Amino acid sequence: MTKFLIGVAMFSLASATCFSQQVMNLYEGAIPNSIPSKNEEKTDTATAGFIVISKVSIPTLTAYLPAKEKASGAAVVICPGGGYGIVAAGHEGSEIALRFAENGIAAFVVKYRLPDSKIMPNKEIGPLQDAQRAIQLVREHANEWGIDPARIGLMGFSAGGHLASTAGTHFSKSYIDNAAHTSLRPDFLMLIYPVISFTDQIGHTGSRDNLLGKNPSAAKIKEYSNELQVTAQTPPTFLVHATDDNVVKVENSIQFYEALLKNKVPAELHIYEKGGHGYGLHNSTTSEDWMSSCLQWIRSNGWAK
């Protein structure tokens, strides 16, 4: 563990509840499916005031661990969005993780590699490898982090929702070294205004182009259209979307939800009339707090005690 630990910092929340934050390299040793290259990663505050990271080639995992007296034993791995072109590390990453930690749930934000043929031989599997590795890492170190390895969820926003739903429907194939045969299946999924489909009808073209290129085959489109990949083994899922989302069509969540129902997978879908896209924790058009509903869903299903 200490071999890939970059740093540990202690913070105090406004509520005076302490938690530890640990930043780790996602891989110990060589990064799989990578081409040696200059690290050109860049962190910016976007026009809207959001923190975004671009040109990620060295993936990391940042842990937000609740105080021991508040820890529920549950954990959530978080994949921020960004169209597979950036990682929205703030409002879809650290802010979400802090909310989980405040509520006794360990949270882990993945800074995953962004698909780029200059840094990886097969760019379509790079982000998925990092999501699988994050689940593997949390599960294999569950004991030292006070986590139940059978209560690890995966959350994704926008294109991070595509990544999370891919990990939640393609877990039977390991894209990383997994000598211990650690389960790569999340125990539950939370998908917030997610890209689910890569079809021409409802898919998000920008995410598809970044991951698969401009002219993907029909077979690749089907493979990464996750509403078509749901089975009875897909984890129970919580979904949030807004009807007026003009970036990622609400049909992405609806069709995934319908596929879950068809396969008798427990699911909960929240659709707001308004809210648009990319609002993170705060949909300003409603007094309802989707995160409170998500936490209640986690507790009611017994993942957080």
List pLDDT tens digits, range 79-89.
Answer: 999 999 999 99
Identify the band that residue 47 occupies on the pLDDT scale cut at 50, 70 and 90. Answer: low
Confidence band, pLDDT 50/70/90 cuts, at residue 245: very high
Q: Label the pairing between strands 152-157 and 188-192.
A: parallel
Q: How far apart are CA 278 and CA 112, in angstroms?
A: 18
Mean pLDDT of the 185-210 span: 98
Mean pLDDT, rounded, for 277-293: 96
Residue 9 has a pLDDT of: 37
With tokens 């489109």, the residue in question is 221
Nearest CA to 106 out of 127, 128, 137 is that of 137
Dump pLDDT digits (tens) for 263-275: 999 999 999 999 9
- Report the mean per-residue pLDDT for the chain: 92
Q: Tell me the mean pLDDT in the region 247-257.
A: 98
Q: What is the pLDDT of residue 21?
A: 85
Length in residues, the chain:
305
pLDDT band at 155 (very low <50, low <70, confident <90, very high): very high
At residue 112, φ and ψ (nearest 5 deg) are -90, 155
Buried b (16+ CB within 10 A) or exposed e, 251-267: bbbbbbbebbeeeebeb
Give the three-state DSSP class for 287: coil
- pLDDT at residue 48 greater than cutoff 70: no
Q: Which helix (H) or strand (E) holds 191?
A: strand 188-192
Cβ-in-10-Å burial (0-12, 13-18, 19+) of 156 comes to: buried
* Boundaries of every domain in the chain: 2-30+53-300
Q: What is the pLDDT of residues 201-239, one digit of tens each?
A: 999 999 999 999 999 999 999 999 999 999 999 999 999
Q: What percent of the chain has pLDDT over 90?
A: 89
Confidence band, pLDDT 50/70/90 cuts, at residue 45: confident
Q: Kindly state the average pLDDT of the residues 194-201.
A: 98
Q: What is the mean pLDDT of residues 156-179?
A: 97
Residue 302, SS3 per DSSP: coil
On whether the CB atoms of residues 195 and 159 are closer than 8 A, the answer is yes
pTM: 0.93
pLDDT tier, 50 (very low <50, low <70, confident <90, very high otherwise): confident
How deeply is 20 buried, as exposed, middle or buried, from its count of CB atoms within 10 A (0-12, 13-18, 19+)? middle
Higher-pLDDT residue of 42 and 5 is 42
- Determine the topology of domain 2-30+53-300 in CATH: Rossmann fold (3.40.50)
Long-range contacts of residues 251-254, Cβ cutoff 8 Å, at least 24 apart: 251/197, 251/201, 251/202, 252/194, 252/195, 252/196, 252/197, 252/202, 252/203, 252/204, 252/227, 253/191, 253/193, 253/194, 253/196
Predicted confidence (pLDDT) per residue in 11-41, tens digit: 333 333 456 689 999 999 899 999 999 999 9
Alpha carbons 57 and 181: distance in angstroms, whole number: 26
97-154 pLDDT per residue, tens: 999 999 999 999 999 999 999 999 999 999 999 999 999 999 999 999 999 999 999 9
pLDDT for 108: 98
Q: Is 41 helix (H, G, I), strand (E, B) or coil?
A: coil
List the one residue out of 7, 218, 17, 5 whose CA is nearest residue 98: 17
**Percent of the chain's residues with pLDDT above 70:** 92
